[in-house]
Amino acid sequence: MSDLHRFGISIDERLLASFDELISRKGYQNRSEAVRDLIRNTLVEDQWNRGDEETVGTLTLVYDHHTRDLADKLTEQQHHHHDAIVSALHVHLDAHHCLEVIVVKGKAREVRHLADELIGTKGVKHGKLVTTTTGKGIL
């Protein structure tokens, strides 16, 4: 682990009380760990917003496989972007619905584009991209 640094923060009393209430609900042991997580989240978000950074994430899709040609379309799109797709998990949720979790990797801009394309495909009922980091460079 790299050297730990301590620093002080001036903060409004009400804001601190709200923060303490939040971190208590979330089960943090202390403010330091909560602040570290906030910083990490902000850095990861910034990495995604810069567009050209190498990133990693997961894309979750729920769709009805009876929708005409939908499963084929989603497979076709994934093959088209195969460089950005690390792995895919398919779960048959019930008689109609499929859940796919796709691990995506690559430049943030391209991964977002791929996610938007898949989520926006007609018949996809819900989709969400969870953005995280390769950990290189910022954490």
SS3 55: strand
- Contacting range for Ni ion; rule: CB under 5 A; set: 27-35, 50-58, 88-96, 130-138: 88-96
Residue closer to Ni ion (CB basis): 50 or 92: 92
Give CA–CA dist 85/103, Å, rounded.
6
The gap from C-alpha 113 to its chain's centroid, in whole angstroms, comes to 14
- Contacting range for Ni ion; rule: CB under 5 A; set: 21-29, 38-46, 86-94, 104-112: 86-94
What does the block give as tokens for 66? Answer: 């009876």
- Least CB distance from residue 86 to Ni ion, whole Å? 20
Q: What are phi and psi of 38, to 5 degrees?
A: -60, -45
By the rule CB under 5 A, 92 interacts with Ni ion:
yes
**Considering Cα of 5, then 42, then 132, then 18, what sign does the dihedral take?**
positive
By the rule CB under 5 A, 124 interacts with Ni ion:
no
How many residues of this chain bind Ni ion (CB under 5 A)?
2
Q: Note the residues at the interface with Ni ion (CB under 5 A).
A: 92, 98
